[in-house]
């Protein structure tokens, strides 16, 4: 697990290991980046449950409220099981597209 600053967002990623430790790592570091756009990348090699990913819903709401983007990237999930306002996509490119679309919406006052 790690995090790195990209041009327009902070990327937290989990390539291997357990999700509970990653969740704790994210919670411990999120406050430093709460005003940034955040992407959570979860490797397709991992077996992560709906309930585990649902823990990010509160962060999604927080970022919507402060005018930033929060996206979970995980190829192995049925996105239709999540609320429509929760950004979860299968690829990093799609996450970048979500960020671009939300930036346009914010610029237009939506």
Please report the domains of the chain, with CATH numbers, ordered by start residue: 2-107 (3.30.750.24)
Q: With a threshold of 0.85, does the pTM exceed it?
A: yes
- Alpha-carbon span 13 to 11, nearest angstrom: 6
Q: What is the model's pLDDT at position 41?
A: 97
pLDDT along the chain (110 residues), means of 10: 93 92 93 96 92 94 96 91 93 97 92
């Amino acid at each position: 697990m790690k995090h790195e600053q990209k041009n327009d967002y902070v990327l937290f990623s989990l390539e291997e290991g357990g999700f509970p430790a990653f969740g704790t790592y994210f919670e411990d570091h999120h406050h430093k980046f709460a005003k940034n756009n955040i992407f959570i990348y979860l490797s397709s090699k991992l077996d992560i449950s709906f309930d585990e990913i649902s823990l990010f819903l509160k962060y999604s709401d927080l970022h919507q409220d402060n005018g930033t983007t929060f996206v979970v990237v995980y190829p192995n999930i049925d996105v239709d099981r999540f609320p429509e306002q929760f950004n979860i996509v299968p690829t990093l490119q799609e996450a970048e597209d979500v960020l671009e679309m939300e930036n346009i919406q914010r610029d237009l006052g939506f």
